[in-house]
Amino acid sequence: MRAWGTTLVLALSGTLFATGMPGCGAIPATRVARYACPSTDHESRQNRRRGTTGRIHEDGSRRRRSASDAEGAASREHAHASATALHGKDAPTIVITVDGVRWQEIFQGTDPERLTTSSRVRPMNARQLLPNVYRWFFDRGIALGDEAKPVFASGPAYLSLPGYREMFSGHPSSCQNNACEWSEETTVVDELIEHEGLAPEDVAIVTSWGPMAHAITSHPCGAVISAGRTGGASREAFRVNRRAAEILRAASVASAYPGWGDYRPDRFTAALALHYLREVAPRFLVIGLGDTDEYAHRDNYERYIESIQMFDAFIGDLFRILDRMGDRGGHEASVFVLTDHGRNVGFTHHGSGDGASSRVWLLAHGSRILGTNERASGSAPMRLGDLAPTLRAALRLPAHDEFELARSFVTFDDSRDLLAHLKELQSINKRRDPSQE
C-alpha cells in the first residue's frame, strides 16, 4: 500500500480542493465543480428505486410522472428486461483487491521460513489456508500467477496507486507514487457509467485505504464511494439498512490500526460492502481490502496470514449472498480478485526497482468464463493492466484498439445469452396467456 516511511499517503475527504499532488499534476479548477457531488442519501435512493422521485430536469427541478411518463417508463422497463435477458447486463460484476499479498501464499500456502515454533498460526498448504478461494476460483474458475503462468505489475514503482491505476486503465500509470490524485484518464469504470448511463448507486466503491478510489474513476460523482473511515462525498449512500448504518458509524470512530490516518480496518469495509451488495445489487462493485499489506509492513507475518484467512471467509460470505441473489443476477455474477503488487525478498517492503515486488496474481469466477485466453498460455507476459480489457469483455463494453497491449486474460461464452433470452420470452408469453401455464 505504501513504501514504508518514504511516501506521503493522503486520506480522502468529503471535499476535494483544486490542488494537485507532486508528480501527478494539478487538478484543473474547471474539473472541481463536478466533484461536489449531489446528495445520494438512503431516502432519495430508495425513492428512485420505487420510482417516486420523478425526473430531474436540466434546471435541477423535479416533477411527478404524468400518465404518459408512467406508460413510457413501463415500456422502457419492458425493453430493458428483454435486453437484460439477451445480454445479462444486470448481473453484478465485482472486483476485489487484496493489498500486497504474495503469490506464494495464494499458490503454496504459509511460508515455513516465516513461521516460528511459538507461532499461533499453524503451517498450511494453500487449499487449507484459502478453502473458499480454492472452491470458487481454483475449482470453478481461473487462477493465474504461479510459476507456470506468472502475472506482473508494470511498475517501475511497485506501489499501490500505480498498481490500481494500471488495473482500471489498462496500461502503466503515469503517476509512480502513492500521492496520485483523481485519475485524469478515462477508466473502464468511467466507460461503463457513460456507456450505460448508470445511476451513481449502480456503481459502488468501498475501500479500506481511502486514496485507492483515486485510481478507479475520474468521475467520483458517477459512483457512490466509501473510502477509508470517513472519506467519500457519497458515503451516506451506504446506509442501506440499520446494520450498515451502524457499521459506517462505528468505522468512523474506530482505530485505524493496522493502518494509520483515515485507514478503515478490513472488517468494516468487508461488512459494509456485503450489506450494500445484498440490499442494492449494484451493476459494478469494487471492494478494496488492505490489512494484509499493513501487517506485512509491520513485519507481522501471523497477522498477515490471519488477514488472508479473513479475506477467505469474506469470499465465502460473498458467494453465499450471490447465491441468495439468484433472480437478481447473483448466479450470473462475474467476480475478479487480484493484488496491486507483491513483496520484496525480505517480505516487509515493496517499491521501485524491486523485481520480486512485481509478481502479482489474478483470480476469476463467472458463469460466462470459458477459460484463459492465448495471452495466459505463454504468448506474452500477463500484466495487471489486463484487468481493464477483461472487465470490458465481462461488461460487454466496446473493445479498445486491437493493437492495445493489454488483453483480456479470460475468454467469455456469450451463447448463454440466447438461452436466457428465450426463457424471458417464454415467461412474457405465459404472463400474457395464462393457458400456457
106 within domain boundaries: yes
247 within domain boundaries: yes
User: Residues with Cβ < 8 Å from 423, sequence gap 6 or more?
Assistant: 85
pLDDT, averaged across the chain: 79
C-alpha cell at 59: 434546471
β-bridge mates for residue 341, sequence order: none
List, for residues 307-356, the tens digit of each pLDDT value: 999 999 999 999 999 999 987 788 899 999 999 999 999 999 998 878 89
List, for residues 121-175, the tens digit of each pLDDT value: 999 999 999 999 999 999 999 999 999 999 999 989 999 999 999 999 998 888 8
77 within domain boundaries: no
pLDDT category, 33, cuts 50, 70, 90? very low
Looking at the whole model, is its pTM more than 0.75? yes
382 within domain boundaries: yes
pLDDT category, 114, cuts 50, 70, 90? very high
8 within domain boundaries: no
* pLDDT, greater one: 60 or 386: 386
Considering its fold, how many domains does the chain have in total?
1
Domain that holds residue 335: 90-421
Q: Kindly calculate the radius of gyration of the chain based on its CA atoms and give it in whole angstroms.
A: 22
Sign of CA dihedral 381, 383, 387, 389: negative
321 within domain boundaries: yes
CATH number of the structural domain spanning residue 118? 3.40.720.10
2 within domain boundaries: no
Residue 244, judged by CB atoms within 10 A of its CB (0-12, 13-18, 19+), counts as buried
53 within domain boundaries: no
List, for residues 395-421, the tens digit of each pLDDT value: 999 888 754 667 888 888 866 554 554
C-alpha cell at 258: 493496522
